[in-house]
Structure 1
Amino acid sequence: MKKNFIKKQDFLLKLLSLALSIVLWAVVMDIDNPERNMRFDDVPVRIIGASQLKAATGLELIEGEDTTVTVSLRGQSKSVGEVRASQITATVDISGLTEANEYDLPVTVSVSKSGVETNYVNPGKVHVRVDRVESKDVPVEVNVTGTPDDGYRAGKPTTATKKVTVSGPATDLAQVSKAVASVDVTGRNSSLADYECKVTLYDQDGAAFTSNYITSQTEKIKVSVPIYRVNNIPLTVTLKDGGSLTQNQVQCVIDPENVEVIASNQAVLSDIKEINLGEIDLGSVHTGTPISMSIKDKLPSGVSLVSGQPETANVTISVDGIATRKVQVSKFAWNDTAQENTPYKVAILTKSVEMELRGSESQLKKVDVNNLSIGLTYDSVSLGVGRHTVKGVATTVGLPSGVTLVEEDIEVEIEITDPHVSDETITSDKTDSTDDTDSTVAEPTAHRTRKGGGSQ
């Protein structure tokens, strides 16, 4: 009995020793292999679902592909210590996106190591952008900057490249309106041929457009810029004697006096001594009134005006020792060549015509305007009913000695009416017309008798 008791106690002691050993082992193991955190920096984020997104919506990943995150893992020291960065996978799924936009999407982390779990991810979300990738052609412009050497001007630049193709996100691409190549001609005195220029994209507001996602198939183009020598050429006119005036009696002022011209062939410019604007008949010119004459139309072939130079000149004629007087002539003398056969009446609508007289001041004061008239010759039958402009001829009677009339084209407005078409007839015609007709009858114009002319 005593022996059995001793055996039983011995067994219990052994069992207790085993339990204590296990506890002691666990304590020792916990001390030697404690739980801890380990941080992994610059873990690349892999974007998944891009092919599914493009197939479903046509959208592509634009931004967010090169993102990295910091991952913290937690586990037993030994297990965590055995983890390599290559065993950590960080992913962002974009397959569920439906519209072109920017998104902040959560990062999912997995570790191919048992006994290890994710403690945190920083940042927990990644910024991505999706859009449709498109291409389009934009026009090319060449911009010349700088100033050539003294006495030289840059001509119009040319390039064989008229457009370039650009590609990128549709949202960015919509802002690109043109491609500009700039060439600097500062200090140059010779032309540039096939000069290579970098192309810069511009938006609709004329500002340089920059985007990391827009690419151009053409980065440089070849440009040619002619550099011309500038010549300053005087302007002249030819004066034709007339109306008792000679070239020696008048002064001619041309504004501007000179213009700057260029030519691709320098030999052409060397032969140009002046640019003659044409002939002025002193018998018909109004003194003191500027005459606009074309410069551009008088340039020799191959010669052009420098940019900014006027295309017309004002020529003013003044007379030394001779006064002028402007008068209003309201006396008309008409001659209807169809008078015997015409069924019409004619009224002169022009009230008066301004005319210019020349002579000494004392003689001009003696002029009686009633001695001036305007003769009209017309064929009322050929002209027909309506308003017409006919040529007039100035006639004078008894002008004082030394007084002349400035010749000029005179136009007078007349109105021809049919006396057999009465107001009552027109009113009756209008009353009989129905609402469905598109035709209308014009009201007759009242005749007014003017001084020196009237109804016929």
Structure 2
Amino acid sequence: MSEGSMLRWLATNVRTFILAFALALAVWVSAVTAADPDETRAFPNPITIEFVGQDPGLIIKGQVTRQIQLTLRAPSSVWEKLTSEKDAVHTLVDLSGLGAGTYRLDVQVQIGVQPVRIISFSPEQLDLTLEALVTRSLPVQLSLTGTPAIGYQAGDAALDPAEVVISGPESLVNQVANVSLSLDLSGLRQNIETTLVLQALDDKGAPVSGLTLNPDSVQVGLPITQQGGYRDLAVKVVTIGRPANGYRLTNIAPIPPVVTVFSSNFEQVNALPGYVETDPLDLNGASADIETRLNLNLPLGVTLVGEQSVLVQVGISAIQGSLTLTNLPVEINNLSSGLQAHFSPDKVAVLLSGPLPALNTLVPADVHVIIDAKGLTPGTYQLTPTIQLLIEGVTVESILPGTVEVVISKKTTP
């Protein structure tokens, strides 16, 4: 074929070549897309906005959105990289060259994996205020509320550290009137060693937020001492007699367990033993819990501070025991008319447990071994009996044997 003929042939078929190439490309794109289809999704991982270029002498005032919601379109294989690689998606706000003031700034989204198309993200802009970053040193103020227990007094508090540095936006730092903490002394009898969290307050006592306190807590030590003439004594309950037969003493609790006494004679009060006795409590024949008030036996010149008697709670419970009853006859209930039943064995043993007083009064007639024959037709059955007790507080532990053979048959006509 001559050169001219070749050129004419190419000119004639160029459209066919282009069409064939386009079709091949379409088929290839379709195959690739089918194997790795594009997906539009919301990015599942938290995306934190980074502020760059910020003047170290400035600080962002107040609460500013720190995360964005992002929707992307990418092939399935790319999504795997987006969600698995730590820095695949990066967002930032550029503060370079900005001074103090209020601004509306664009949020920039950077994708480190391709191909990816950003469909949408929110917010696209941030409103923020930059203020001068200032610091102040203020003494810590301790506010005490309540009073120690009667006869006790609080000493001088020790704070470590006694001064705190606050930092933040200038307008907020200027609002702070004091840095304080509060400690409740109500009813205290012992020294305090604790750590309390500091709070920055304005001149009206309202908290000022958005600041950094260094440190943010203080170690507080406060001595609590007993005044002269006062002394704490444990309450010792004096008892006489014994609970009823079959019952035992489970608990004796004076309320309060410790009382405060006073005497103008310091030597007398200091010479007392570490306890004070109650009037005798008679337990003779007791078979139930007791709650009563008792006076305390104090020497002349020594008085009880506060309530002049103590509440005493005494626990009395029955001694637990066990009892085995043998040769108890098996009874049957709900047997249909015209039928009769035979048992093997016809007598069983029952093991019971419960309070001794109840067990001591129990007789075989108080225990019934019952077989329920409701709905049973003639035949042979292995049935578990139930126990009916006519006395309260007793528990069935076991039945020996646990099942009974029951043969049900029609009654014979004489």
User: How does the TM-score come out when normalised to structure 2?
Assistant: 0.43
By percentage of residues, which structure has more strand? 2
Bigger Cα Rg: 1
